[in-house]
Amino acid sequence: MSNPLPDGITDDELADSLRAIGRGSPLVQHLTNEVTMNDVANLTLHWDALPVMADSPGDAGEMAAGAAAILLNTGQVPEGKVEAMHEAAETAAERDIPVVLDPVGVGATPTREAVAEALLEDVDFSIIKGNYGEISALAGVEAEVKGVESVGEYDEIEDAARSLAASTGATVVASGVEDVVATGDGAVRLSAGHERLSEVVGTGCMLGATLAAFRGAVDDAPTAAVHGALAFGIAGERAAEMPHEGPASFRTNFHDAVAGFDPETATELDLEERLERVD
């Protein structure tokens, strides 16, 4: 079972999580898709964690032994990569290394559903992160996913996220207009982010990498999930405030905003209204 969600968040608490990443330089192993691999690696580095993209059978399990956290992203599911995911997760279980799941596109095809179901059966995930459609699909709730995008209305997303958390023991992050973070005992909504994030391919994958980086340095999974998702969203807001012409320049701004998101930046934020309990 995961620990309870925080009732609130202060700038000092977020700063402490960022300091923990900076002190520990956690090695985050990514088994992810090739479409967003470069952005995922760079963003992990910008959070002061260390990325490694070891995703082939044999090497994946061996590399996992030295990781502080592991991210499994199902954006592409060739047989060898799926085998490598299970190998890395087996090593993680032996060494008590937290594993984050980003079930990209689950609900879109039977193949992706089968891959996700097998992972959920074999792996005790620390954090599961997906968009509203993906989380709803994993929870067994009707969802509409086109390709890797969530479409439709999800008025009961908190219930779906809480149900998935209760059945898996993981902290669940459902990303959307507002992110929902849930355990089996409750849920919170986070007010952070900018619409420009939806105009850049790969920001969902980058959020998964962010959560893995925070979890690699922060012992408590719900705290890592809340702090990581909130920092990611605020970085998106700060990127939108920088001069840019469109999605491409916003993408560059976003990487710069994350790189500049240090503990001192966190202590200047007013976070009191950013978190709302909804259970």
**53 marked among binding-site residues:** yes
pTM for the whole structure: 0.93
pLDDT on residue 107:
81
In a domain, 6, yes or no: no
pLDDT on residue 8:
85
Q: What is the pLDDT of residues 150-209, one digit of tens each?
A: 444 556 899 999 999 999 999 999 999 899 999 999 999 999 999 999 999 999 999 999
In a domain, 44, yes or no: yes
**249 marked among binding-site residues:** no
> Over its length of 279 residues, how does the chain's per-residue pLDDT go in tens digits?
567 788 789 999 999 999 999 999 999 999 999 999 999 999 999 999 999 999 999 999 999 999 999 999 999 999 999 999 999 999 999 999 999 999 998 988 899 899 999 999 999 999 999 999 899 989 988 555 544 444 445 568 999 999 999 999 999 999 998 999 999 999 999 999 999 999 999 999 999 999 999 999 999 999 999 999 999 999 999 999 999 999 999 999 999 999 999 999 999 999 988 999 986
113: domain range? 11-277
In a domain, 40, yes or no: yes
In a domain, 192, yes or no: yes
pLDDT on residue 149:
44
**63 marked among binding-site residues:** no
In a domain, 190, yes or no: yes
pLDDT on residue 154:
59
pLDDT on residue 198:
92
In a domain, 267, yes or no: yes
**129 marked among binding-site residues:** yes
Which whole-number Å values give the CA distances from 39 to 22, 44, 202, in the listed order?
Answer: 20, 8, 7
**Residues listed for the chain:** 279
Which whole-number Å values give the CA distances from 20 to 23, 99, 217, 272, in the listed order?
Answer: 5, 18, 6, 22
d(CA 147, CA 55): 23
Whether 221 and 127 have beta carbons less than 8 Å apart is answered as yes
Q: Cα angle vertex 18, ends 34, 23, to 5°?
A: 95
Report the domain count for the chain: 1
In a domain, 4, yes or no: no
- Backbone phi, psi, residue 194, to 5°: -150, 145
d(CA 40, CA 38): 5
In a domain, 1, yes or no: no
CATH code for position 166: 3.40.1190.20
pLDDT on residue 142:
59
